[in-house]
Amino acid sequence: AAGVIQSPRHLIKEKRETATLKCYPIPRHDTVYWYQQGPGQDPQFLISFYEKMQSDKGSIPDRFSAQQFSDYHSELNMSSLELGDSALYFCASSLAAGGPETQYFGPGTRLLVL
């Protein structure tokens, strides 16, 4: 069965550069969540989208923005990168059905800012 796809899997950037991370949810899933996991830390929720609209917002810096497109894939845009942005970014997708729904996690994109 198709799983959540993230690209790229690894990314190396320099300070002040820009990065774009992509998340392709499981087919027919309409909800996408983005998490940031720093080294040795728990995942921190960044932002989520439901039916192409932002549904929740967490500790996402103003330098970051995200959106969900008509095919439900989502992109996380990160500008003016800082060393502290080095982390694993993973997304999860689910099918909102009005009740608790299983979140399926992608493999993550490991970002290294030099």
Partner 1 sequence: AQRVTQPEKLLSVFKGAPVELKCNYSYSGSPELFWYVQYSRQRLQLLLRHISRESIKGFTADLNKGETSFHLKKPFAQEEDSAMYYCATYNQGGKLIFGQGTELSVKP
SS (H, E, C) 28-82: CCCEEEEEEECCCCCCEEEEEEECCEEEEECCCCCCEEEEECCCCCEEEEECCCC
Residue among 30, 45, 67, 79 that touches partner 1 (CB under 8 A): 45
Question: Does position 99 bind partner 1 by CB under 8 A?
Answer: yes
Residue 1 CB, shortest distance to partner 1, in Å, is 12
Element (H, E) at 99: none
Question: Does position 108 bind partner 1 by CB under 8 A?
Answer: yes
Residue 25 CB, shortest distance to partner 1, in Å, is 16
**Count of residues near partner 1 by CB under 8 A:** 25
Query: What phi, psi does 83 have (nearest 5°)?
Result: -55, -35
Contact 96, 41 (CB under 8 A): no
Question: Does position 37 bind partner 1 by CB under 8 A?
Answer: yes
**Span from 2-10, 18-26, 38-46, 73-81 in contact with partner 1 (CB under 8 A):** 38-46
State whether the Cα torsion 29-108-55-16 is positive or negative: negative
What are the structure tokens assigned to 26, written together? 């499981």
Residues that bind partner 1 (CB under 8 A): 33, 35, 37, 39-40, 42-43, 45, 48, 50, 55-56, 58, 88, 90, 92, 96, 98-103, 105, 108
